[in-house]
Structure 1
């Protein structure tokens, strides 16, 4: 079990990320809009956003394989949360 200090640091980092990447760039209209935009960010954070501590993998995805031929990949951008969040994926 994690200590209270460690859990506080994790939550402080999460809150800082939400503020910096989402809330400082978004005008929130009401409570329901806030819940919707936070849910969208949570999905993005856990299933797509790369994390340095996980070798650029998202927490809910397996680690990426080692890539040697970068010319074989083209990238496509998907906008989320009204364009505040950008997700980048290999184009098919």
Structure 2
């Protein structure tokens, strides 16, 4: 993982809106996370997740959103993935 690349897979620990979370489900369209601070679960659309998620320990910056490495997708799911409007779809 680099500051501009975020690996999304089940079990990954990340920051979402500043909260430490663990990815518990990833289907290629949405990501379900377990919020470690309060034990709640949240479902976030992949495009929204790409904007709001950060690697743990990543310094805050305003130089853009991280790219996604869609490591958690099976080949059939990856072939159905289409980038949201305004996203390049390149990793």
Shared fold per TM-score greater than 0.5:
no
Bigger CA radius of gyration: 1
**Could you say which structure has the greater relative contact order, defined with CA pairs below 8 angstroms and 6 or more residues apart?**
2
Q: Which has the higher strand share?
A: 2
